[in-house]
């Protein structure tokens, strides 16, 4: 997959949601985000960008979806990336509020567990294949 040059991309314009293009479940979820959510982000395969240039940890990106906010601040991962993505909703106050609520400590402890369970099961979820299985923990 060719690497997308983000050098000309206005760093302040939009957030960037990255997904694992080698995982059918992840790809399906990313396409759903593009089509269904009114969020102001670019959605790209993590294999198509220079992760180091974006400050994305490749090891974490293998296990958790990364989100790089507008302005290229430090990326968030997993359940926090999902909350940050929702916080960029352009035409839905409810989605923006949900993004904030999902970051609340009590709620975040539940969403962290739920996210990890989904990630661990992604090969069994719709669109998932054996290729989607997470690598063994170190």
> Token pair 């904030």 is at which residue?
100
Question: Nearest to residue 113, comparing CAs of 86, 62, 78, 85?
Answer: 78
pLDDT number for residue 6: 56
Can you give the pTM of this predicted structure? 0.81
pLDDT tens string 108-129:
999 999 888 888 877 777 777 7
Kind plus residue range of the DSSP H or E element containing 4: none
- 105-114: long-range contacts at Cβ-Cβ below 8 A with a sequence spacing of 24 or more? 108/79, 108/80, 108/83, 111/79, 111/82, 111/83, 112/78, 112/79, 114/79
Q: Is the pLDDT of residue 77 over 90?
A: yes
- Annotated domain spans of the chain: 15-132
Average predicted confidence (pLDDT) for the chain: 84
Pairing of strands 76-77, 15-19: unpaired
Q: What is the pLDDT of residues 28-61, one digit of tens each?
A: 889 998 898 888 899 999 999 999 999 999 989 9
């Amino acid at each position: 997959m060719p690497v997308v040059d983000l050098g000309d991309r206005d760093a302040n314009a939009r957030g960037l949601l990255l997904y694992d293009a080698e995982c059918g479940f992840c790809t399906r979820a990313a396409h759903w985000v593009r089509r269904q959510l009114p969020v102001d982000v670019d959605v790209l395969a993590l294999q198509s960008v220079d992760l180091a240039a974006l400050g994305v940890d490749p090891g974490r990106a293998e296990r958790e979806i990364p989100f790089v906010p507008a302005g290229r601040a430090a990326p968030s991962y997993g359940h926090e990336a999902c909350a940050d993505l929702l916080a960029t909703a352009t035409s839905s106050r409810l989605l923006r509020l949900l993004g904030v609520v999902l970051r609340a400590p009590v709620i975040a402890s539940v969403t962290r567990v739920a996210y990890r369970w989904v990630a661990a099961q992604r090969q069994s979820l719709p669109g998932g294949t054996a290729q989607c299985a997470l690598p063994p923990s170190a």
